[in-house]
Amino acid sequence: NTLFIIIIHITFVAYKKLLRMIITGKYPNLRLRRNRNSDWSRRLVRENTLSVNDLILPIFLIEGKNKKQSIKSMPEVYRYSIDRLSEVVDKAVSNKIPMVALFPYTSSKLKNINGTESLNEDNLVCRAIQYIKKKYKNSIGIMCDVALDPYTSHGHDGLLHKGKILNDETVEILVKQSLLQAQMGCDVISPSDMMDGRIGEIRKNLDKNKFKNVQILSYAVKFASSFYGPFRNAVGSNSLLKGDKKTYQMDYSNNLESLREVALDIKEGADMVMVKPGMPYLDIIRTVKDNFKIPVLAYQVSGEYSLICNGIINGIIDKTTIIEILTGFKRAGANAVVTYFANKIAKDLK
Ligand code: PBG
């Protein structure tokens, strides 16, 4: 009996070994370098590719006329007044970039404790949406951030009361802000505030107001990150920000918590979800991708952008790094990436 078991075992081990040799081969008859020998062959066996369809371009807006204002913290990124917006949107459209993301720099005299400018139907974002929709029709999508930080005098994404960010009261305003953006022609409503329950409330209100086809891209997994620094400078909220955003944005030590955030937002009606920041969080993109059948987007944020730019400007790395990094997002499972490099690399991708 024991002998029988031993024979079976030996046969099994031998069989497995044979099978492994057939499937994988072995040096010297197996050489993985063969497939890498020539460019055509590398292209043939390539597993992931980056195309312009994977890119979303963020654009900063500023009040006034004939302005293209450089941003100290972000090389070659500008704030555009609406009359010069076509410079950058024309490029995005001709590059076939599918969508732009609009971010307003709000002058400090329009900011207050409750961020009421967010609900002004004549605010900068509202006028920019209307301008782009009228001029470019449906040749490019528009996404808009839903959050109060460009409008509050304390720089937080929600209402601040006695040192705390109020959740439900903030959601009420976000619901109105979303509807306003949809009425102006925004295609993709993108709540980036990390309040609980906002996706469901926003969806309900959009549907009630006949905006059933307006999409929601939830910044479901947004970490409290130091990589947002240059962006806060770009929208003028950094010097104002009191404290940090750790009571609403996620703790960067966590991975599994992202599954709960995404599960809830899907249940509440999100059409797509965002992971943000990007490069230090590729594991999160993979986790979300493996667990849900929903488009997962990634945001290569301002701090990542500026770091790479500084590396290139100082000759530490070269321009090819940009596409290498963005392809890494695809490999991790991202369907698309929000990146300040979108217009700059589009031609290299054709
Ligand atoms: C704010 C918002 C932030 C970014 C996009 N929307 C900053 C923050 O949460 O403080 C960051 C984008 C970037 O750094 O490029 N709701």
Residue 238 Cα to ligand 1 middle (Å): 11
Report the alpha-carbon distance of residue 57 to residue 303 in Å, rounded.
16
DSSP state of 249: S
Per-residue pLDDT band for 121 (boundaries 50, 70, 90) equals: very high
Lowest mean pLDDT among 5-14, 155-164, 169-178, 208-217: 5-14
Does residue 21 carry a pLDDT above 70?
no
- What one-letter code names the amino acid at 78? Y
- Ligand 1 first shell, C-beta below 6 A: 145, 147, 149, 157, 192-193, 228, 231-232, 245, 301-302
- Could you confirm whether 176 is annotated as catalytic? no
Summarize the confidence of residues 232-236 as an average pLDDT. Answer: 90
Q: Which one has a higher pLDDT value, 237 or 145? A: 145
Banded model confidence at residue 3, pLDDT cuts 50, 70, 90: confident
Ligand 1 centroid distance, CA of 96 (Å)? 25
How many angstroms separate the CA atoms of 239 and 97, rounded?
Answer: 33
The pLDDT of 203-212, averaged and rounded, is 98
- What number is the average pLDDT over the span 196-202? 98
CA of 228 to the centre of ligand 1 (A): 6
| Catalytic, out of 245, 276, 289, 330 | 276
Mutate to test the pocket of ligand 1, among 149, 190, 198, 218 (most ligand atoms within 8 A of CB): 149
Residue 157 has pLDDT above 80, yes or no: yes
Angle in degrees, 0-180, between the axes of helices 198-208 and 257-268, rounded to the nearest 10:
10
Ligand 1 atom at minimum distance from 338 CA: 15
- Radius of gyration for the alpha carbons in the chain, expressed in angstroms and rounded: 24
State in Å: Cα 6 to ligand 1 middle.
Answer: 63
**Which of 231, 246, 299 is the pocket-test mutation for ligand 1 (most atoms within 8 Å of CB)?**
231
276 labelled catalytic: yes
Q: C-alpha distances in angstroms, 45 versus 32, 125, 203, 286, 328?
A: 12, 44, 42, 22, 17
Judge whether 302 and 277 are in contact, CB under 8 Å. no
Query: Residues 339, 326: contact at Cβ < 8 Å?
Result: yes
Nearest residue to 178 via CA among 270, 94, 249: 270
* Residue 269 burial by Cβ neighbours in a 10 Å radius (0-12, 13-18, 19+): middle
Chain position carrying tokens 């979300």:
288
Query: Quick one: pLDDT at residue 8?
Result: 87
- CA distance readout (Å), 177 to 8, 109, 195, 267, 317: 70, 20, 14, 21, 41
Q: Which two tokens stand for residue 129?
A: 């949406």
